[in-house]
């Protein structure tokens, strides 16, 4: 007999009729007397368990079953019985229970609350808790919603390279990639490491962004996107930074900044709608147990337009605010977390795009506005998280871009191919980048990036 | 006026009625006389161009337009006119043409055939050719088809780590990841590199597979998968190897090897069906220009069950074959490309699963069969490509797995977390890995892995 999935019992009418079924899953709780035992079993397909009734009169191996440890894997055949009066909509009256894998008694996730710090030390087991089940289910669904939205809007998915010889931002702290002998690497005549003998014949690093390479594809496919891992070798031990994280970087030809903001707002709303529809049980669990504002915040995000304000206006609003900021506010500063939070949480109380930043604090490839002081760039600031999206028009004028590279101290020789994209028919184009984990923090209510990554990579920590 | 997409003109009835439209795209060819010019314009949304008729009598800037170089970006408003008698189903009679980006005269992709070797040197421009347009469009669609199949079959997507401290296969040549000063790294007392001072406090590498970490999630979500980049620092300069490539690794609990083969066959067929439906114009182009057996091979793949044969039977069939293999055939050998090809192309003439390999030539985590000589593993061999998929049941018996690690020379201390998955309620489980680029070679007809990767990474070559 084939297994049914508990998810289908909860979400289709299969759970409303009495019938014979078989399930396989893991015991989450068990309590028993001499004659009867109640097992909560989770089969992995759904956050909710199925309650199993095991009777000594029915089961030859009743005693053995009652001694099973939490986490043991079992396969159960029996009668599914709807129980509309009970808290659970149905129960499974077992006719046979076979053990598929016995768990040791020292299983670390006994039925009690564990701190998230502790659970990080057992990241290989924590997806078995309800909270992390919900978080990582949502991670999967959110990733798919993003692909679905972009594919259905004619965006072409491009896998830009992970190992790279260039540095998109011109500023990142990067991880070096090498196959040279760590203890006795080859040296040049002047006693430097001889990168010529490394695997790629030169120094290589892990990518900090796929944007530059994906622009090449935007000139062929018009609308494209990356969705892959990116890396920053940053020292910062904040709740919002990890050394390895995933980014989504859509890029479009024949667009301006308004188009870019429209698409990013539409994409975010699609993801939220998708989750409300496909991950409602997981969101409800998180709303009940982690962040009681979660569902209200997601609904509000859907129902309102995101605010849009220029950087110059934002500075004025912050200067007029009755608040003593730690970092003084003046035109030209990079907004700090406290400023971003004040804008999103106090002034607008919803996501807000801040546009047209000073050119000096933004990347070299962003398109200069006619005022010569600002660039056609925008950050989306959201409550609780701060910056979630950064986007811009890209400088498509070859001479302006070349001059700006020089001004920003970038060696033009390494970017000739990038200038080629301008030399050979550059349309006006632009795009945006979403930090996937920041988005997940927004849609799960979790407040530490380490709790939305399966096996987080943080300075000094590389378990698993 | 908003742009329409040329794709919609070709694939909906929008192309069958005369009406006013605007498009933006890039000039692919241009030929002109004093009074009239014909432009082929590609707007990125579709492999086929739209023919634009520009008349001197209509356009103030007619002379300027006729002088534009190939690749220039333009926006065109005019009347779309169906032309059912002509090779093209419609043409655009231009009323205005504005230049969005002028291309330089030395654009490398003039209208002639270029070798694939040459095009690799301009990987930032080659997606503008029809062949690479088709290949990378198919890459995007195939990736989405894989996500769609797995998500709709209740598989949870897991982003396993890229930077890792372990080596899944216990054998791979790996890339090391470091932030230590290349020229003056810290040393230990015995003059070795001091990994304690590296970013993660120990030696770290780029992942060769996400399978081990994703198994942890299969014990929580039942059905899971990875889809991400993996790395091998191999010297081999073959048409089938790259240093950076993408893998899909589904993993399932409560399954046996037959289930695993069934799912992998079903997934592959879904991808092919999806492409035949969504990328038909791209496949047709490749069939007409790259591999005239492509569509027939894909149809045949769909229509027949994949063959299934044990390794032991395969050895017998190869030994009985009237062929002098370069590498002699005997039970216990690892099958070479010539053997794989003979099985898939000559004996079965279709994809064939070879199952139950000798345990000594397969990975430590594969489940021992009762015969003590073989493991419950399978490779899928396909015509033209060879090995496309490798899968197995995983050894879920803690003691057997620990003994096998010792036998294979793996330090148990680094795999305690992996053994935990067995200690705490391991269900029988297993999965498979698909090399995404191998799959793309199969579904595009391209015969070099460098031509299905946007910016391939090969030893000694890290352009872009």
Same domain, B38 and B134: no
Which of A65, A99, A133 terminates a domain? The answer is A99
Same domain, A163 and A19: no
List CB contacts (< 8 A) between B24 and chain A: 253-254, 427
Q: Residues 6 or more apart from A362 whose CB is under 8 A from it?
A: A375, A377, A392
E strand segments, A87-221 = 90-101, 156-157, 163-164, 176-178, 204-206
Q: Quick check: is B107 in a domain? A: no
Residues of chain A with pLDDT under 50: none
List CB contacts (< 8 A) between B219 and chain A: 26, 44, 127-128
Cβ distance of A420 and B396 shorter than 8 Å: no
List CB contacts (< 8 A) between A177 and chain B: 175-177, 206
3-state secondary structure of B281: helix
Same domain, A88 and A157: no
Instruction: Return the pLDDT at B224.
Output: 98
Q: Could you tell me the CATH number of the domain that includes residue A391?
A: 3.30.930.10
Cβ distance of A127 and B220 shorter than 8 Å: yes
Q: Quick check: is A299 in a domain? A: yes
Report how many domains make up chain B. Answer: 2
Q: Which residue has the tokens 């090391």?
A: B176
List CB contacts (< 8 A) between A7 and chain B: 154
Torsion of CA A57, A63, A68, A72, to 10 degrees: -40
List CB contacts (< 8 A) between B228 and chain A: 228-229
Q: Residues 6 or more apart from A390 whose CB is under 8 A from it?
A: A377, A378, A379, A380, A432, A433
Cβ distance of A156 and B140 shorter than 8 Å: yes
Same domain, B55 and B156: no
Q: Quick check: is B280 in a domain? A: yes
Instruction: Return the pLDDT at B234.
Output: 86
List CB contacts (< 8 A) between B178 and chain A: 175-176, 178, 182
Q: Would you say how long chain B is, in residues?
A: 464
Same domain, B66 and B137: no
Q: Quick check: is B112 in a domain? A: no
Cβ distance of B136 and A221 shorter than 8 Å: yes
Distance from CA of A450 to the nearest CA of B (A): 13
Among A13-17, A234-238, B23-27, B272-276, the minimum mean pLDDT is found in A234-238
Tokens of B293: 């057996």
Instruction: Return the pLDDT at A199.
Output: 95
Strands lying side by side in the sheet with B223-231: B156-157, B223-231, B244-253, B429-435, B386-394, B377-382, B352-355, B307-310
List CB contacts (< 8 A) between B159 and chain A: 139, 143, 229, 246, 453-454
Same domain, A80 and A225: no
Of the candidates B124, B151, B422, the beta carbon closest to that of A421 is on: B124
Same domain, B73 and B215: no
Confidence at B172, pLDDT banded by 50, 70, 90: low
Smallest CA–CA distance from B110 into chain A, residue: A424
Torsion of CA B20, B22, B25, B29, to 10 degrees: 30
Q: Residues 6 or more apart from B267 whose CB is under 8 A from it?
A: B146, B149, B150, B250, B434
Q: Quick check: is B273 in a domain? A: yes
List CB contacts (< 8 A) between B453 and chain A: 159
Residue-wise pLDDT for A402-439, tens only, equals 999 999 999 898 899 999 999 999 899 999 999 999 99
Q: Distance between CA A350 and CA A415 in Å, rounded?
A: 39
Q: Distance between CA B358 and CA B307 in Å, rounded?
A: 20
Q: Distance between CA B213 and CA B404 in Å, rounded?
A: 19
Cβ distance of B140 and A161 shorter than 8 Å: no
Distance from CA of A453 to the nearest CA of B (A): 8
Distance from CA of B105 to the nearest CA of A (A): 8
Cβ distance of A455 and B160 shorter than 8 Å: yes
Of the candidates A123, A158, A461, the beta carbon closest to that of B200 is on: A461
Smallest CA–CA distance from A415 into chain B, residue: B464
Of the candidates A166, A424, A454, the beta carbon closest to that of B213 is on: A454
Q: Stretch B38-43: mean pLDDT, rounded?
A: 98
Domain that holds residue B360: 125-171+207-449
Q: Taking phi first (over 0 means left), then psi (-120 to 50 degrees means alpha), and beta for anything else, what does residue A429 get?
A: beta
Q: A with B: how many residue pairs have Cβ under 8 Å apart?
A: 336
Distance from CA of A348 to the nearest CA of B (A): 31
Rounded to 10°, the helix A130-152/B211-221 angle is: 110
Q: Quick check: is B51 in a domain? A: yes
Instruction: Return the pLDDT at A113.
Output: 82
Q: Which residue has the tokens 């660039």?
A: A375
Cβ distance of A176 and B173 shorter than 8 Å: no
3-state secondary structure of A322: coil
Same domain, A85 and A148: no
Distance from CA of A127 to the nearest CA of B (A): 6
User: Which has more confidence, B1 or A323?
Assistant: A323
Q: Could you tell me the CATH number of the domain that includes residue A17?
A: 2.40.50.140
Smallest CA–CA distance from A437 into chain B, residue: B159
What is the phi/psi pair of residue B242, to 5°? -135, 155
Cβ distance of A199 and B459 shorter than 8 Å: yes
Residue-wise pLDDT for B289-306, tens only, equals 999 999 999 999 999 999
B234 vs A61, B208, B275, CA distance in Å?
A: 53, 11, 32
Confidence at B235, pLDDT banded by 50, 70, 90: confident
Instruction: Return the pLDDT at A169.
Output: 55
pLDDT at residue B215 is higher than 60: yes
Q: Residues 6 or more apart from B432 whose CB is under 8 A from it?
A: B249, B250, B260, B263, B264, B378, B389, B390, B391, B392
Of the candidates B163, B246, B426, the beta carbon closest to that of A462 is on: B163
Same domain, A81 and A17: yes
Same domain, A154 and A282: yes
User: Which has more confidence, B165 or A29?
Assistant: A29
| Bridge partner list, B431 | B251, B392
Cβ distance of B175 and A177 shorter than 8 Å: yes
List CB contacts (< 8 A) between B417 and chain A: 124, 463-464
Q: Where does residue A17 rank: exposed (0-12), middle (13-18), buried (19+ CB within 10 A)? A: exposed
Tokens of A211: 């944007």
Distance from CA of A119 to the nearest CA of B (A): 13
Q: Quick check: is B104 in a domain? A: no
Same domain, B88 and B235: no
β-strands B244-253, B429-435 pairing: antiparallel
Q: Quick check: is B160 in a domain? A: yes
Same domain, B256 and B371: yes
Nearest to B438 by CA among B377, B385, B399, B380: B385
Instruction: Return the pLDDT at B41.
Output: 98
Of the candidates A125, A183, A220, the beta carbon closest to that of B44 is on: A220
Nearest to B165 by CA among B206, B216, B195, B194: B206
Smallest CA–CA distance from B146 into chain A, residue: A144
Cβ distance of A43 and B222 shorter than 8 Å: yes
Of the candidates B7, B139, B229, the beta carbon closest to that of A228 is on: B229
pLDDT at residue B169 is higher than 70: no
Nearest to B83 by CA among B28, B32, B15, B22: B15
Cβ distance of A175 and B159 shorter than 8 Å: no
pLDDT at residue B171 is higher than 80: no
Cβ distance of B178 and A183 shorter than 8 Å: no
Confidence at B97, pLDDT banded by 50, 70, 90: very high
Confidence at B167, pLDDT banded by 50, 70, 90: low
Distance from CA of B84 to the nearest CA of A (A): 27
**Number of other residues whose CB lies within 10 A of the CB of residue A198:** 22
List CB contacts (< 8 A) between B143 and chain A: 147, 157, 159
Distance from CA of B290 to the nearest CA of A (A): 20
């Amino acid at each position: 007999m084939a297994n049914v999935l508990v998810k289908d019992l909860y979400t289709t009418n299969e759970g409303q009729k009495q019938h014979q079924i078989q399930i396989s899953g893991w015991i989450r709780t068990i309590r028993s007397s001499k004659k009867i035992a109640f097992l909560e079993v989770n089969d992995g397909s759904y956050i909710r368990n199925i309650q199993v009734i095991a009777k000594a009169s029915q089961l030859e191996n009743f005693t053995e079953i009652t001694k099973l440890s939490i986490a043991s894997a079992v396969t159960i055949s029996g009668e599914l019985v709807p129980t509309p009066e009970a808290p659970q909509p149905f129960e499974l009256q077992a006719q046979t229970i076979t053990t598929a894998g016995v768990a040791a008694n020292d299983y670390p996730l006994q039925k009690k609350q564990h701190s998230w710090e502790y659970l990080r030390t057992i990241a290989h087991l924590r997806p078995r808790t309800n909270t992390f089940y919900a978080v990582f289910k949502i991670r999967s669904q959110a990733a798919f919603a993003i692909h679905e939205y972009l594919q259905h809007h004619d965006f072409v998915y491009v896998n830009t390279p992970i190992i790279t010889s260039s540095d998109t931002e011109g500023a990142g702290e990067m991880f070096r990639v090498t196959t040279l002998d760590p203890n006795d690497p080859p040296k040049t005549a002047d006693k430097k490491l001889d990168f010529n003998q490394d695997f790629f014949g030169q120094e290589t690093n892990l990518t900090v962004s796929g944007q530059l390479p994906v622009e090449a594809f935007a000139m062929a496919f018009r609308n494209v996107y990356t969705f892959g891992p990116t890396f920053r070798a940053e020292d910062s031990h904040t709740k919002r930074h990890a050394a390895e994280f995933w980014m989504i970087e859509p890029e479009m030809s024949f667009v301006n900044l308004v188009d870019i903001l429209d698409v990013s707002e539409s994409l975010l709303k699609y993801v939220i709608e998708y989750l409300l529809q496909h991950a409602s049980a997981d969101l409800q669990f998180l709303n009940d147990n982690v962040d009681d504002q979660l569902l209200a915040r997601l609904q509000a995000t859907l129902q309102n337009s995101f605010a849009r304000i220029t950087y110059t206006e934002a500075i004025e609003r912050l200067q007029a605010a009755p608040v003593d900021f730690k970092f003084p506010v003046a035109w030209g500063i990079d907004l700090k977390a406290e400023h971003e939070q004040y804008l999103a949480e106090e002034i607008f109380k919803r996501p807000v795009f801040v546009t047209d930043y000073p050119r000096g604090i933004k990347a070299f490839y962003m398109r200069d506005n006619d005022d010569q002081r600002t660039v056609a760039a925008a950050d989306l600031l959201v409550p609780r998280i701060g910056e979630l999206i950064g986007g811009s028009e890209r400088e498509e004028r070859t001479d302006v871009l070349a001059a700006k590279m020089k001004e920003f101290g970038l060696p033009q020789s390494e970017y000739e191919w990038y200038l080629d994209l301008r030399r050979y028919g550059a349309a006006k184009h632009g795009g945006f980048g979403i930090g996937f984990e920041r988005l997940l923090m927004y849609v799960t209510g979790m407040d530490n990036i380490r709790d939305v990554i399966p096996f987080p990579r943080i300075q000094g920590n590389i378990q698993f």
